Amino acid sequence: MILKQKLSKTSNVPTIFIIKLKLLDPIDIPYASGQFFEFEIPGLDDTRAYSLASKYEEGQILEFHIKRIREGKGSNYMCNLQAGDRVIGSGPYGKMQLRDRSRDLIFVAGGSGMAPIKSLLEELFSETFENDAWFFYGARAKKDLYFMDEWKELEKKHPNFHFIPALSQLEPGDEWDGEVGFIADVVSRMLENMSNMHAYLCGPPIMIETTCDALSKGGVKGAVVAYDEF
């Protein structure tokens, strides 16, 4: 059982909270990028799972990206935490972890599904990686995009990293010259032959389903696709 202390929460997207927690007991738990922790929620019999958004470093602060759901008891409890609050959880869990670094890699996320992808990419580029890594991120409108500057900076630092955000429902006044449409369609348009690539996905079920179809048509075998859906 893990006892944690709330440290801070920030995000430029009103519904997505970046929550940072400090381990208290025990003070360190090794985990793999792509894994998640489960948290106890007052008033609920079952737990809620949230993916880690930072790669493991001994004694570091843990980062989570949590989307507030209007009637969601778990997300509202976590997003309402204040500095100094304590939460109880367990973990790590999950098998979506980096495997073959000798291939080109595709990462696809929607909404707060960016969290485990961020963790995986931090781990990927913490060592030498000479192949191409593509990160496709789907959002509805421009207001739903976040961490844009960080991904653009990673592109500058690593020319073999390609960040492709796409918007599916542009709002009046959105100034946008990037990709438009559902993220699975964007993947298909930009990468016609994906037969030598491995993929990691995180997002809502419909995104996972349509993206898996796109990957399959592009030559990616199901055995080399890892995903978490929420």
For residue range 156-197, what is the model confidence (pLDDT) as tens digits?
Answer: 999 999 999 999 998 888 899 999 999 999 999 999 889 999
pLDDT band (50, 70, 90) for residue 9: low
Q: What is the pLDDT of residue 11?
A: 66
Is 99 a domain residue?
Answer: no
Q: What is the CATH number of the domain that holds 176?
A: 3.40.50.80
Q: Is the pLDDT of residue 209 over 90?
A: yes
Q: pTM score, two decimals?
A: 0.92
**pLDDT, tens only, 14-72:** 789 999 999 998 999 999 999 999 999 999 999 999 999 999 999 889 999 999 988 88
pLDDT at 174: 87
User: Total structural domains in the chain?
Assistant: 2
134 and 157 inside one domain: yes
Q: Domain containing 177: what range?
A: 104-229
Which residues touch 19 (CB under 8 Å, ≥6 apart)? 6, 8, 9, 63, 64, 65, 66, 78, 79, 81
174 and 167 in contact (C-beta within 8 Å)? yes
- Kindly state whether residue 170 falls inside one of the protein's structural domains: yes
Each residue's pLDDT tens digit, 58-108? 988 999 999 998 888 999 999 999 888 999 999 999 999 998 899 999 999
In a domain, 34, yes or no: yes
| Rounded Cα–Cα distance for residues 87 and 48 (Å) | 12
| pLDDT tens digits along 136-147 | 999 999 999 999
The answer to whether 17 touches 7, Cβ cutoff 8 Å, is no
Cα separation of 32 and 19, whole Å?
19
Considering the domain architecture, whether residues 14 and 78 belong to the same structural domain is answered as yes
74 and 120 inside one domain: no
